[in-house]
Chains A and B, each alone.
Chain A
């Protein structure tokens, strides 16, 4: 069974590396870029959906997003500039 599980994990890794074009971590992209050159919309989509569905920007107030992005910075290991870019994106969309 252990072998089977590892086989499935390996298969997943192989499929991913085979079919998924590795793209960069939301540096310069086609979306709206913040002052620090981060494509915030793309980063937001990449980072949040890794674990859960994204919530509409209107779900929380700007002030609440300040708190929540601080929390997610710690939990999701975001950098400071990335956190700031996502926060500004959410405020713009709110």
Chain B
């Protein structure tokens, strides 16, 4: 039988339903499950409301910033900053290009000071500065030049050692024009720079002797790899030297500082080097020209020849290096007159050097590894009846200390013997040289 639904009954039922719904709601269940009281729930709800407020404020601030960023003033500042950065980049590029070598030009060279105390002569300090300019004009073009400043009496001598433009023809050949170091001499081309030469002075006959130090003309040079060996060569045409005919101290000698060719005379020459293995080379150099004297007259043939060798050997915790070059010249017969009437002589000269050195390299002491000992024998021989001529022989012992790989302190004692009544020139030498 159905229960009649009276108003009080309905109210009670409605209240019970509402209570049931409240108590069974998910929130109430979660709070009950998590053990959170209603007070805590309400506190969390309040905090959430606060967070929502803060987020709203932040969004408002962000919107304000974006609005102001698009203002003309700030846009101007950004443009200025970008321009400044671009300018800095440009200046950095210019600075990079200004570094040595970055613009394809390098200045190197050497400087030296030498003290010489020689018998029958005043002891003396001397100094040289020889900057070398290398200008890389492209993959195939190179300009190279050395100017040497040298103290000479009360003056400073200025010598153009070389100034040459070279063009690379292919992987094996180079063509050069200008003034170049004498290709026929290995010492002059390779070992003369003060920081390379292991002794404070240069060998007799080879340098300031019977061979040219430089030639003005054109040269063709290159290398021929031949199996496990190689051949290098150089050939050239240059101005011919001048024959000294009237100087009572030097008649019969050649002057190579003659940069104006006399009567179209030209010198032809070259050198061939053979390397059977990387650490051994033998070479032969030759130059021939017709030469005339200051006063003109008969020209005569001048044949200059040289043989050279170089080798090194790693042994005894160091390196032994043996260098040698011997040169000889023969000039045709002609009469000379130095003021006392004409005379003639057989104009043959010769001379050369052998140099042996040992550089310590693998000792535990770094100081010891900086030392090198050197011994050199050299000589020059001139016609006995030539004016001012005498034979000279020297034996030189030296000790080098390498401060760096290109800076060296050199000390040497030279035992000298001269004939034809000339006093010996025993000497003590100290030199300091650096390669730039």
| CB atoms of A74 and B310 under 8 A apart | no
A9, A49, A56: the one contacting B326 at CB < 8 Å is A9
- Is B292's beta carbon under 8 Å from chain A? no
When A16-B279, A51-B196 are in contact, do A77 and B222 touch as well, CB less than 8 Å?
yes
In the bound complex, residues from chain A placing their C-beta under 8 Å from that of B196 are 51-52
* Residues of B contacting A22 in the complex (Cβ-Cβ under 8 angstroms): 228, 276-277
Q: Please report which residues of chain A, range 56-70, place their CB below 8 angstroms from some CB of chain B when the two chains form the complex.
A: 56, 60-61, 63-68, 70
Q: B324 interface residue, CB < 8 Å from A? A: yes
Distance between B50 CB and nearest chain A CB, rounded to angstroms: 63
**Given A8-B377, A75-B189, A80-B170: A20 and B277 interface contact (C-beta under 8 Å):** yes
The CB with the most chain B CB atoms within 10 A, among A46, A65, A71, is that of A71
Tell me how far the C-beta of A74 lies from the nearest C-beta in chain B, rounded to whole angstroms: 5
Count of chain B residues with a beta carbon within 8 Å of a chain A beta carbon: 67
A20 touches B225 (CB 8 A): no
Q: Given B273, B280, B322, B354, which contacts A17 in the complex, CB threshold below 8 Å?
A: B280
The CA of A4 and the CA of B390, in the complex, are separated in Å by 19
Contact at A13–B377, with CB atoms within 8 Å?
Answer: no
Across the interface, do A71 and B134 meet the contact criterion of CB distance under 8 Å?
Answer: yes
Among A6, A22, A67, A79, find the residue whose CB has the most chain B CB atoms closer than 10 A: A67
What residues of A have a CB within 8 angstroms of the CB of B405 in the complex?
53-56
Q: Is there an interface contact between B101 and A60, defined as CB atoms closer than 8 Å?
A: yes
| CB-contact partner of A25 in B168, B174, B225, under 8 A | B225
Contact A79-B406, Cβ < 8 Å, known A25-B230, A61-B99, A71-B144: no
* CB <8 Å contact, A64 and B100: yes
Q: CA A13 – CA B277 in complex, angstroms?
A: 12
Residues of chain A with a CB closer than 8 A to B155's CB: none
Return A8 CB to nearest CB of chain B, in Å: 5
Interface segment out of the listed B62-70, B103-111, B424-432: B103-111
Give the residue name and chain of the A residue nearest to B313 (CB).
A20
Task: Determine if B108 and A79 form an interchain contact, defined as CB atoms under 8 angstroms apart.
Answer: no
A63 touches B352 (CB 8 A): no
In Å, the complex CA distance between A51 and B353 comes to 16
